[in-house]
Amino acid sequence: MGKLQPYRSKNVATKIMFDKNQDTVFIKRTGHIKPGEMLDGFKKIESNPFFGGMKKALADATAADFSDIPTEEFEAYGSYCGTRLKNIKIATVAPSDLSFGLGRMFTMLSNLETILVARTMEEALSWLNVTLPEDFDD
């Protein structure tokens, strides 16, 4: 097993890479995210054996559409992260006004200081103090 452990979810809109050297999971969401997929998706990531020991997570939502996710799901996701993932530093890249606003709502609902919603990838990478894997954008 090399430095990076790529993983494709059954939802083709999600690409996941586990980087053991940086103790970071890199998640790229693209396309239209349906209700239920956001919370269920992270639960599946957490249950993946490669997730064990990860201390950081970067979620790239640059090309994702969360417009149909109901407020209740953001609340549930915030609560989930606030209880299950409170020891993991999570950065989300959300450049559009809608995704940034929804991400900030999630941050407030989780009530954690270990979560950042950033407008740029550079800001998220700097905050996590990690480098983006070369083949993450493939």
- Residue 61 contacts residue 24 (beta carbons within 8 Å): no
| The pLDDT of residue 18 | 92
Above 50 in pLDDT, residue 12?
A: no
Domain that holds residue 12: 4-130
The CATH code of the domain that includes 121 is: 3.30.750.24
Give the H/E segment covering residue 107.
helix 97-110
pTM: 0.80
Mean local confidence (pLDDT), 37-66: 85
The pLDDT tens digits of the residues spanning 66-116 come to 788 887 887 777 777 777 877 888 888 876 666 666 666 666 666 667 788
How far apart are the C-alpha atoms of 101 and 87, rounded to whole Å? 24
In a domain, 36, yes or no: yes
Q: How many domains are there within the chain?
A: 1
In a domain, 135, yes or no: no
